[in-house]
Chain A
């Protein structure tokens, strides 16, 4: 029995469409413990959202999931019986989506959507109880005067308030794990900071484990305890956030940091990483980053062998031939 809250070993997700197969996640290892925040960082298309979605079983029917281990708090997530998701989604694992404008149903009041989150999992609650809980929830996420705003519709609230409502919905049943998929990307910079602070305080108070997904190192840096860097469906580096970002091991991590001048050490012009992530992940020999890597472009082992995530000093792991462990 694992002591981790969530343990993922060798998770792969492929999409089958007619004769085409697309690999989105290719052999990912992850763990997260109670009360800690794991940041998952990567470019668009690296598979981080698919990874998060697979944890809740919300992938489309064309998806094929294969894994050695996908354990959450004693439950095998790779093998959930058909009625079983109901007790997990929204109850043990909560999810906050990226765009509060499209995620909320524009035709129903905020109050009714929040009430729904609670009523699904607590059949015996009376409407008065639910109402009270919703008001408390909204106030705890920083929405003042909540009792008068329950009959508002989403379009009447600002983007930041909508995101808070989404967060409220996700934590409404005190889940053990919160998955936040780019929760601040669609918001203004000033609001971003507020929402991040909100997430931090919620996490502290409720001892939530949180998976925070983002393409922005700056944002992840301010909230994550540990960080996993994802590239082309794989985790390429992982470890305590501050350590990884100050002394990155993997060339990709280093390149990413250089793109974000506020964390990176280089003070020159903005650096962009040449090239594009590979499109057909399953078919590449060797390291999939090698075409864009200034270290491994010509190394023999980088060309021929796919590096595996290996334990390094302390709590860190890297998947790179060029790193001496």
Chain B
């Protein structure tokens, strides 16, 4: 890779990681950073962005800037939660499937297929409607519908790594299954998994935002999508309520995809 290209790549890697980190930091620090409680009425309704309210206020006068900060917290919580569930399930299923093969492999992949075929969005709508819209439920629902793709990737990688010579060599030296997995397989599949995971999470973020938009988010926590959804009726008079939360989602999703892309490029080059 030429030096100019590698410099650009490093820049991209840094900026996208920074983007994700900023998001996480804002999320964690929201209660201290936000000037107001996002649920409290603190100003005039539908006030345009001003010094007091950098992003304006919503219909009943709640500060949008605080809303966006707390929204970061909600979405970060969901994304991290989903990531945890997805990683755990996908690794277990993928490693077992790839390493053991045979009937177990077939069976697990069938199950993965079922989860993959059903459009996540619709399943989530149904699940939320019937089971409630709390953040914890949302995390579970989104997690359960998202693991199958990653499981397949892990399985494929495990399969290819399993066949390589150095695994045989390691086993010749007496490594047990777990050692083989942790020391040989995992480091090799880590980059591919990281790329896939970041892209997956950005999609999850968008799905969560859309669900919140149509009103299926947890009413006790502010969500970017919810803010955008509530703006629908006042679009004409208060465009800021729609634009800013959506912009926040865009930037968060962009950071994730750029990060995944940057990691992926490193592997290719």
Report which A residues bind B (CB closer than 8 A): 17-19
Main DSSP-derived SS at the B contact region: helix
Q: List 8 A-B contacts (CB under 8 A).
A: A17-B2, A18-B1, A18-B2, A18-B3, A18-B4, A18-B5, A19-B2, A19-B3
Contacts of A17 in B (CB 8 A): 2
Report which B residues bind A (CB closer than 8 A): 1-5
CB nearest neighbor in B for A17: B2
Main DSSP-derived SS at the A contact region: loop
Contacts of B5 in A (CB 8 A): 18
Q: How far is the CA of A160 from the CA of B36 in the complex (A)?
A: 80
Min Cβ gap A19→B in Å is 6
Q: How far is the CA of A19 from the CA of B3 in the complex (A)?
A: 8
Contacts of B3 in A (CB 8 A): 18-19
CB nearest neighbor in A for B5: A18
Contacts of A19 in B (CB 8 A): 2-3
Min Cβ gap A17→B in Å is 7
CB nearest neighbor in B for A18: B2
Min Cβ gap B135→A in Å is 49
Contacts of A18 in B (CB 8 A): 1-5
CB nearest neighbor in A for B6: A18
Q: How far is the CA of A40 from the CA of B107 in the complex (A)?
A: 59
CB nearest neighbor in B for A20: B2
CB nearest neighbor in A for B2: A18
Contacts of B4 in A (CB 8 A): 18
Contacts of B1 in A (CB 8 A): 18
Q: Rank and list the top 8 A-B pairs by shortest CB-CB distance, nearest first.
A: A18-B2, A19-B2, A19-B3, A18-B3, A18-B1, A17-B2, A18-B5, A18-B4
Q: How far is the CA of A56 from the CA of B3 in the complex (A)?
A: 32
Sample of 5 more A-B contacts, CB < 8 Å, known A17-B2, A18-B3, A18-B4:
A18-B1, A18-B2, A18-B5, A19-B2, A19-B3
CB nearest neighbor in A for B4: A18
